[in-house]
Chain A
Amino acid sequence: NAGVTQTPKFQVLKTGQSMTLQCAQDMNHEYMSWYRQDPGMGLRLIHYSVGAGITDQGEVPNGYNVSRSTTEDFPLRLLSAAPSQTSVYFCASSLGAGGYTFGSGTRLTVV
């Protein structure tokens, strides 16, 4: 039982490049979320999903796309990376009634 797996752990991108941060969970959780963590800003919700085929925007969705084609996977796409997207990204999942299980994070630097 791996929990929530995020890949990659570290990534450096050039401004304008695109990439996908992967998130997979093996707990059959319906709810999945993406957060970014910036100094002094805490955890801010980017996008979330309540089940396969259903996604919604969070507090800071601009510049990011998500899709949820399966219960297990919830990838986060950066369309055209900007230095302002330098951050640590966390994926999390939940059954709904309990707390969220977080992945180990992806540290992204955009130069």
Chain B
Amino acid sequence: ILNVEQSPQSLHVQEGDSTNFTCSFPSSNFYALHWYRWETAKSPEALFVMTLNGDEKKKGRISATLNTKEGYSYLYIKGSQPEDSATYLCAPDAGGTSYGKLTFGQGTILTVHP
């Protein structure tokens, strides 16, 4: 079982603020890092899958970076909107014989106030 830590546990921001949160994971036995967005009463939705050290991915106002050597990833949201309110989960995939087996962090709960 991988040790995956996300911080902060929760975050309250005002509409228009930019924000970021962190996912830490073991840097050994790394294959890929997944980010998901999970809105209340819905199912988790895939945002990014990142594999290469230094990788940066972007989807609209949301972007993510990856450092596989030190075992962390940042998720950034620029100009937060109320509809960005959700739990953001990260999950590393160790690959090899565990390829496809995701271990989820506990998530960062983001609330964006109008």
Contact = CB atoms under 8 A, between A and B. Distances in A.
Contacts of A53: none
Nearest to B106: A42
A: interface residue count bin? 20 to 34
Interface stretch (B11-19, B21-29, B61-69, B95-103): B95-103
A45 B43 contact: no
B89 to A, nearest CB: 7
Nearest to B51: A97
Interface residues of B, number: 22
A44 B47 CA distance: 19
Contacts of A56: 101
- Specify which of A43, A59, A94, A102 lies most central, judged by the most chain B CB atoms within 10 Å of its CB: A43
B72 interface: no
Please report whether the interface of chain B is mostly helix, strand, loop or mixed according to DSSP: loop
Contact of A99 (B36, B103, B106): B36
A33 interface: yes
A57 to B, nearest CB: 10
A3 to B, nearest CB: 10
Interface in B24-43: 34, 36, 42-43
15 contacts: A41-B106, A43-B91, A44-B104, A45-B101, A45-B102, A48-B101, A59-B1, A99-B34, A99-B36, A99-B49, A100-B44, A100-B46, A100-B102, A102-B43, A104-B43
Interface of A: 31, 33, 35, 40-45, 48, 50, 56, 58-59, 90, 92, 94, 96-105
